[in-house]
Structure 1
Amino acid sequence: MDYAGFLNYLHDQGTQPARGQRSLIRFIRPEAYQACLRELNKWKSLSEPLQQIRTSTLLHAFICPFTIKQVPDRYGKGIIIEKDVRIHMHAVAATGKENTPSIPWGVRHIHAPEVWSVSTGHQIRIGVIDTGADFSHPDLRHSMGRGINLLNRNLMPHDDNGHGTHIAGTIAAAGGSDGIIGVAPRAAILPVKAFDHNGSAYVSDIILGIDWCVRNQVDIINMSFGMRSKSKSLLNVVNKALQAGIVIVASAGNDTKSRSVDYPARYTQTISVGATDRNRRIASFSNRGAHVDIYAPGEKIYSAWLGGKHKEMNGTSMATSHVSGAIALLLAHRPGISPAEIKQLLRRSARPLAGAGKSLSRGGTAPAEVHALRLLRRGSK
């Protein structure tokens, strides 16, 4: 392949008046990616469009902030081009009066406090791919690692939306008398800021976030977001993270669908999470059905918010953070357990839902809710 000619083609595409859709370019052969990357590094300083290309070593891909049209045959045989589409958070603000419990109802509901004498999630590293986190929040100061800001690598991953802070709080808040306690209060949150202040990101940002999590050896990736279209590139990088031994927890979506969930939760490589209410029923907004692995509290979930505050939120996003916290408790108690074993233990230890009927979740099991105490007991056998 003529790598210099291919990069010149990319330069020309990047100088078009209407840039339009962002693009992912995946190299089929790793050695071709490495060769083209070396050439890119030589020519970057001479081309403004080439300077804007980001790369994923894990995926062997270039990420271009401009449209790549039909690639000439002399370049296109060894590459796969995919549109870089938008992806969104799975949460909305709850209506009604906020409460102020030190242990929120969802944390109690999954019986996490009964586990803390055995495990608090100590030293388990959780990559939260989200809007960042409020590093100064009193409930999170002792739970935060440095993380990364993929939108501006010169800045810390500070949260300018609130969603990421809420997720981090449910997983690992360790507040004092005026704060809250999360499911795994001694776990380490590594915020991966891939979403902007509007709660929006591109698939490429998620890919780069997973790439970073693999390189930084996290134990769990929390993905409280989704999209309706599939992405081969996203599936590819999720597979690579799973092969690295990382547990991937993803929210099912808030569209009240009974036979479908959003991607990446729909991939069998993830643990797909739906939401329940206080009565152990599937929340009205939650997607449900055969593509969901497990359910968890997701309605009126009280957690950390920007400016040292707290807020109630609804969503399968919130449910996912409960499951990530429960897995952290298990991993701290039983290090080295594989993602496949964890998924099986979640199902076997879960508590049946109220009024779930005859529908089945993924794996042919009845719809059930995560139960941290039973999970650890099963994991100890």
Structure 2
Amino acid sequence: MLHEAIGSSRVAEKRHIIHFKTRSAYTRFMAAFEEAGELFPVKSVIRPMKIIHAICCTMKSGFPPLQHPSIRLIEEDIPIRVHAARIRHPQQPVLLRQAGNSIPWGVKQIKAPEAWKETRGSRIRIGVVDTGIDYSHPDLRGRISRGINLLNRSLLPTDDNGHGTHISGTIAASNRSSGILGVAPLAMIHPVKAFDNNGTAYVSDIVMGIDWCVHNRMHIINMSFGMKNRSKSLHDAVRNAHKLGIVIVASSGNEGKQSSIDYPARFSQVISVGATAPNRKIASFSNKGRSIDIYAPGDKIKSTWLQHKYMELSGTSMATSHISGVIALMLTIRPELTPGDIKSLLQKTSNPVTGLKSRSGIRAGEVDAMRALRHLGT
């Protein structure tokens, strides 16, 4: 059935995710698939997604829906984008040369430098599911560990967009002498390249990125991207990672909406992040309201960029990386904290923000690294 549905033509095809009802059904299919080599001369036409007992493949448009006792559901594999940050200086990336500029305003705002007396995030592994990372950037030297390129597994997850490098710098840059410092300058970044040079991926790429993070025992997964449509596949992957104690942090979106945020931030298993500007004011572009769990600086954030440069970007993506850094600091001191513990602690120790309407319900605040650590008994 699948062989006929996939076909040989590349015209008018769509990617789909096929979920099996049980783990054993998935395992049986994969074993049969391996034996059916003559039907599938190119093995890459089917991508296994073990974490959700599913496969991803491209099927001919208009082909009748596959019906089989082992199949639970079939979902279209839809595109997803990094939360498009607005480049303030697209022609001239901001090149920092003086040590006096080494701590960006957002890192100072959340009181990370005061927290460094207690912890700098050592031994915490953070999977950054994004566009990859610039391995040659001096501020990230010693902070990059093993990752994966889901677009081409034979290549390193090298960043050809810039977004992933920017996120990684805010989390863990550690060049005090001539560059910048991130929130957790001793944490380890594991780059998971799921997005292409345009900042676009498919849900299946994200699911496989989460799968990699689970199998490689990440403590935190940073997801600075989003989409409007709910995906059962993405929710299953998030739920499974959450059950295993991995903290998942995601950006809420940049449409300035009062009552709606993007997926995966909207899932209850995720810590959803909104962006603030200076003076703890919610950034005009940030989604806001009761769906936000925590806010962090996201306006005009300077961080690492391609070719040893620095860029100033704005977006809830940038806010999310601040939160991942603070969680790394917390986990160094209390590694037994659950994702639920961390979410409630971040909220309990946050500082009030301005820019929310009173009818929006519970007011999430801006993260405060020092207050969070004090609450842990340090």
Q: Is the 8 A contact 2:3 2:40 kept in 1?
A: no
Look up the SS of the partner of 1:127 in the other structure.
strand
Give the match for residue 3 of structure 1.
none
Give the match for residue 70 of structure 1.
64
What amino acid is aligned across from residue 150 of structure 1 in structure 2? L
Q: By how many angstroms is 1:151 displaced?
A: 0.3
Give the match for residue 109 of structure 2.
109
- The within-5 A match list for 1:175-254 is 175-254=175-254
Q: CA RMSD in A?
A: 1.7
Could you tell me which runs of 5 or more consecutive residues in structure 1 were left unpaired when the two chains were aligned. Answer: 1-5
Q: Is the 8 A contact 2:3 2:39 kept in 1?
A: no
Q: Indicate how the Cα distance of structure 1 residues 93 and 44 shifts in structure 2: closer, same or farther if over 3 A, else same.
A: farther
Deviations 1:156-211 (A, max 9, x none): 00000000000000000001411100000000000000000000000000000000
Look up the SS of the partner of 2:117 in the other structure.
coil
| Alpha-carbon separation, structure 2, partners of 1:33 and 1:196 | 29
| Alpha-carbon separation, structure 1, partners of 2:261 and 2:66 | 37
What amino acid is aligned across from residue 286 of structure 1 in structure 2? S
What amino acid is aligned across from residue 365 of structure 2 in structure 1? A
Count of aligned positions: 370
Q: By how many angstroms is 1:45 displaced?
A: 5.4
| Alpha-carbon separation, structure 2, partners of 1:49 and 1:65 | 13
Q: By how many angstroms is 1:346 displaced?
A: 0.5
Deviations 1:309-359 (A, max 9, x none): 100001000000000000000000111110000000010000000343424
Look up the SS of the partner of 1:195 in the other structure.
coil
Identity of aligned residues (%): 51
Q: By how many angstroms is 1:99 displaced?
A: 7.5
What amino acid is aligned across from residue 55 of structure 1 in structure 2? P
Q: TM-score, normalised by structure 2?
A: 0.94
What amino acid is aligned across from residue 327 of structure 1 in structure 2? I
Matched, 1:9 2:1: no
Q: Is the 8 A contact 1:14 1:49 kept in 2?
A: no
Q: Is the 8 A contact 1:7 1:40 kept in 2?
A: no
- The within-5 A match list for 1:125-136 is 125-136=125-136
Q: By how many angstroms is 1:378 displaced?
A: 1.3
Q: By how many angstroms is 1:145 displaced?
A: 0.6
| Alpha-carbon separation, structure 2, partners of 1:294 and 1:226 | 17
| Alpha-carbon separation, structure 2, partners of 1:355 and 1:229 | 27
Q: Indicate how the Cα distance of structure 1 residues 349 and 14 shifts in structure 2: closer, same or farther if over 3 A, else same.
A: farther
Look up the SS of the partner of 1:191 in the other structure.
strand
Q: By how many angstroms is 1:131 displaced?
A: 0.2
- The within-5 A match list for 1:311-330 is 311-330=311-330
Q: By how many angstroms is 1:133 displaced?
A: 0.2
- The within-5 A match list for 1:29-48 is 29-44=22-37, 46-48=39-41
Q: Is the 8 A contact 2:277 2:299 kept in 1?
A: yes
Matched, 1:371 2:368: yes
Q: Is the 8 A contact 1:347 1:365 kept in 2?
A: no
Matched, 1:346 2:373: no
Q: Indicate how the Cα distance of structure 1 residues 375 and 83 shifts in structure 2: closer, same or farther if over 3 A, else same.
A: same
| Alpha-carbon separation, structure 2, partners of 1:130 and 1:208 | 12
What amino acid is aligned across from residue 52 of structure 2 in structure 1? L
Look up the SS of the partner of 1:71 in the other structure.
coil
What amino acid is aligned across from residue 374 of structure 1 in structure 2? R
Q: Is the 8 A contact 1:44 1:51 kept in 2?
A: no
What amino acid is aligned across from residue 363 of structure 2 in structure 1? A
- The within-5 A match list for 1:279-358 is 279-358=279-358
Give the match for residue 156 of structure 2.
156
| Alpha-carbon separation, structure 2, partners of 1:271 and 1:310 | 27
| Alpha-carbon separation, structure 2, partners of 1:354 and 1:231 | 32
Could you tell me which runs of 5 or more consecutive residues in structure 2 were left unpaired when the two chains were aligned. Answer: none
